[in-house]
Chains A and B, each alone.
Chain A
Amino acid sequence: MQSDFEQIIRENAGILHKLCRVYSNNADEYEEMFQEMMIQIWQSLQNFRGESTISTWIYRICINTALNFRTRTKKLKRYTILDENFSVRFEFENEKDEQLKTLYTAIRELKPIDRAIVSLYLDEKSYEETAQILGISKTNVATRLMRLKQKLIERLSQ
């Protein structure tokens, strides 16, 4: 199971990274969120029944984790710990890409739920998968995406 876990994380690290970038406010929070997402994936790996694709399953866990960060009780915050033996960094090779930076800034300006919808859309998840992960209707996803895409296009065209 350990090797499965490693493989899953390495293959899907991009999802964790994108969501952490979209939801965290600074480097410390990024790292804490990344670790928490991995812990949640590790804890639930044995319950993965293969009913959805692994990436959809990971998205579901990671979005729940990212939003749980915002709604955690103060008591729990005090009990969250970081392990020094694990740290994650992302390559900054594209950091100079102005468009990418603007895109992330624009996404971070959206409401938390909209950020999830946009991230799933940009990773080319279908309306059905998005609706399944968030627990809303396909119509809801479609309506919101229309407005959100327009917003992002306008922002990036400035």
Chain B
Amino acid sequence: MNEEKLIEIWKKTEEVSFAKADFEAVKRQAEKARKKLRRKIKWDIGLTVAAYILFIPIFINTPQILWILPFIVAVWFWYLWEMFRIYRLETDFQKFENLSEFLRTKLKYLEGYVKRTRWIGNLGSAFLIMYTLYIFSPSNEEFIAAVPALLIFALILQLLQSTCFEIYLRYLYIPPLDETKNLLRQLDDETQ
């Protein structure tokens, strides 16, 4: 066995035949996939709007926290922007000059998203603790010196919230992030 023989064996690879060859279908499918993604983004927007409508009673009951509203809207826009660029990258990657460039961009986007989501999650946790203490404290004095049971309750809520964020990231974004890192490591393996 030698190198020439390897190439010779490879050349014996079967001929491809198209069982059903409706090439128009490819074009249609490309359009369909694009529309489906657009629908997905619209669905995300709808869901976020619905979630914000659910916030209305909270703002009515505690108008003191209305200042948080611009931040929530900013987070919403941030989320849509992140989603859009990740979807775009995953469906429209032919513009990249080579594999390395594509993988590096993907790593940058995914790492950025995961990092920023955790950061927002931490901010949300702090807010959740404050909010829980605030609405369950009958007076300002009790808010400042909260009873231990209330503190524990607030911490449990915060823990629950950060666990949900982490599960979401680990289920959807950490596996592709790890795989992208792994591929890049393989690619750079012997560059030195």
Chain A contacts to B: CB under 8 angstroms: 2, 5-6, 9, 13-14, 16-18, 21, 35, 38-44, 47, 60-61, 63-65, 67-68, 70-76, 79-81, 83, 85-95, 97, 99-100, 103, 111-114, 116, 122-124, 132-137, 140, 143-144, 149, 152-153, 156-157
Contacts and interface: CB of A to CB of B under 8 A. Distances in A.
Given A89-B19, A136-B187, 11 more contacts: A17-B16, A42-B27, A67-B103, A71-B103, A83-B26, A99-B12, A100-B10, A103-B9, A113-B183, A135-B101, A144-B190
Given A73-B176, A122-B7, A100 B100 contact: no
A80 B29 CA distance: 10
Nearest to A147: B190
Interface stretch (B85-93, B118-126, B152-160): B85-93
Given A72-B90, A135-B100, A16 B191 contact: no
B99 A60 contact: yes
B186 A88 contact: no
Given A90-B16, A94-B12, A111-B186, A153 B30 contact: no
B149 interface: no
A92 B79 CA distance: 48
B81 interface: no
A87 B37 contact: no
